[in-house]
Amino acid sequence: MKVAIVGAAGRMGGRLIQAVSEAEGLELTGATERPGHAQIGVDAGLLAAVGELGVPITDDLAATMANADLLIDFTFPDVTLKNLEICAKLGKMVVSGSTGFTPGQKKQVEKYAEQIPVVLAPNMSVGVNACFKLLKEAAKILGNDFDVEIVELHHNKKKDSPSGTAVRMGEVVAETLGRDYNQVANYHREGMCGERTKEEIGMQAVRGGDIVGEHTVYFIGMGERVEISHRAMSRDMFARGAVRACQWLQGKSSGLYDMQAVLGLS
């Protein structure tokens, strides 16, 4: 299967180029960056230190996708939506790890997924998706007697807060407990804000240095506490997850899928 990568010169871009070039059944045929980027014209393989691949970085996604079956997109919601529009018109598959979508933007993604197969996941790590499964089971067992707090840590360059992974963790717990995440998520406490409600899910974000990503969900009861944590040591696991999603998506019908489906956890 022929694969193109958008944002090829970014932090994730190099990891994705390397992962795709090493993956069985996948061939890198395209790599793009924003117009005016300094790396336009550079061979994607040389940029990712995997050797020359004969795939120069361009700024024309539509032309790039003419010679690809699938696009890997780790950008930002507004960019992802533009890329989805192009891929939907061309009938190309998409694997996206972008985060920070508003409810309205998620609806737009769903509309494009009616035309093409799309995997959209806030975190493509196998370990994180195992955590999603564990969180659902923990919430079922512990129920409403335990307060839920989520703390996430990321590098100082991350633009969205809280992380898409933290939000999804909150959504999983809220759905399991019969709550509306958008109504119970509490992102800020300051001053005389009153006692904590039983329904709320606290969301705290820490930013600093080069932290790849850490997430901990606390279930806090009277006299005991359960913690479910995941720590990412490198971005390679996200790239490996994206490759796994690409391989799984081949031959699938139009629709919106997540990594739970890719890993057979849903």
Q: What residue spans define the domains of the chain? A: 2-120+235-262, 126-232
Please give the full DSSP string across 87-132, using - where no structure is assigned.
HHHHT-EEEE------HHHHHHHHHHTTTSEEEE-S---HHHHHHH
Question: Which CATH class, in words, describes the domain spanning 2-120+235-262?
Answer: alpha beta
Strand partners, 256: 118
Residue 225 structure tokens: 């506490």
Superfamily of domain 126-232: Dihydrodipicolinate Reductase; domain 2 (3.30.360.10)
Per-residue pLDDT of the chain (266 residues; tens, 9 = 90+): 999 999 999 989 999 999 999 999 999 999 999 999 999 999 999 999 999 999 999 999 999 999 999 999 999 999 999 999 999 999 999 999 998 899 999 999 999 999 999 999 988 999 999 999 999 999 999 999 999 999 999 999 999 999 999 999 999 999 999 999 999 999 999 999 999 999 999 999 999 999 999 999 999 999 999 999 999 998 899 999 999 999 999 999 999 999 999 999 87
Q: Which strand (E) or helix (H) includes residue 181?
A: helix 181-184
188 is catalytic: no
Q: Which of 93, 99, 145 is CA-nearest to residue 119?
A: 93
154 is catalytic: yes
Is the dihedral angle over the CA atoms 51, 57, 62, 63 positive or is it negative?
negative
Residue 27 structure tokens: 């061939």
Query: Catalytic one among 2, 37, 133, 158?
Result: 158
Q: Which of 212, 209, 207, 208 is CA-nearest to residue 232?
A: 212
Query: Catalytic one among 92, 154, 215, 230?
Result: 154
Environment class of 116 (CB within 10 Å of its CB; exposed 0-12, middle 13-18, buried 19+): buried
Q: Which of 146, 165, 147, 148 is CA-nearest to residue 205?
A: 165
